[in-house]
Amino acid sequence: MTASTPTTAHPGLDAAILDYNGVIGLQPTTDQWLRLARTALWPENDLPAFQHAFWNARPAYDAGQLSDLAYWATVLGHHPGARRLRELREADTDMWTSTDDRVVEVLEHTHASGLPLVLLSNAPRHLSNVLDRHPWRRLMTHALYSARLQVCKPDPAAYQHALNATGAAGPDRVLLVDDRADNCHAARRLRLRTLHYTGRSTDLAAALHPAN
């Protein structure tokens, strides 16, 4: 099957573009955040401040504009040593590699039905390399990561890269699945169909298999 000739299981749909974190990947637990904060030698009673520093520098890191060292130096306010940098990167990566088995099951069914699936994720380079080694990756026709594209969602250029990878006849024949409302809004401005995913795998299954 090609993207321009969808099966009867997917009427009017040529492909789907999927976010990773919050869709395929589970959100980090509080324990995982605390482990990372401890690794950073951040006071455990000040986790919100750590998370603020973490996220404030993240867009540039996800876009490939900061190295691992530059990112963590920005978060911490000083350069970590080589050993601590390695430990920080490992703890950070560990937060994003647990997957939702229910979602993977839906995607396995979708993959078997022949609908092309393209991953579009805001992720730094090291995490991208780790995710590419996971078993669910085989379900994706292409996996596009912001650090490699050097552009993050919701920049329109990120969606255009993913649309080009789908080979779809037009954006209105592609479904974007993302857990962030701003990413969905940006996609709709480009005429993609969207599913704002809120953790219900049944909603995902219904969107990907409307004929079932």
For the question of whether the overall pTM of this predicted structure is more than 0.85, the answer is: yes
With CA atoms as reference, report the closest residue to 4 among 189, 170, 196, 211. 170
Helix (H, G, I), strand (E, B) or coil at 32: helix
* Per-residue pLDDT in tens (0 to 9) along the chain, 212 residues: 344 444 445 668 999 999 999 999 999 999 999 999 999 999 878 999 999 999 999 999 999 999 999 999 999 999 999 999 999 999 999 999 999 999 999 999 999 999 999 999 999 999 999 999 999 999 999 999 999 999 999 999 999 999 999 999 899 999 999 999 999 999 999 999 999 999 999 999 999 987 64
* One-character DSSP codes across 153-167: TTSHHHHHHHHHHHT
Residue that is written with structure tokens 């480009």 in the block: 190
* Residue 148, CA distances (Å) to 46, 93, 94, 152, 158 in order: 33, 17, 20, 10, 11
Note the pLDDT of residue 87: 98
Note the pLDDT of residue 124: 97
Cα distance between residue 4 and residue 205, in whole Å: 21
With CA atoms as reference, report the closest residue to 110 among 147, 138, 79. 138
Instruction: Count CA atoms closer than 13 A to 67's CA, side-chain side.
Output: 7
* One-character DSSP codes across 83-148: HHHHHHHHHHHHHT--B-HHHHHHHHHHHHHT--EEEEE---HHHHHHHTTSGGGGG-SEEEEHHH
Torsion on CA atoms 145, 151, 154, 159, rounded to nearest 10: -70
Note the pLDDT of residue 209: 87
Note the pLDDT of residue 30: 95
Note the pLDDT of residue 186: 97
Note the pLDDT of residue 211: 62
Question: Pairing relation of β-strands 117-121 and 15-18?
Answer: parallel
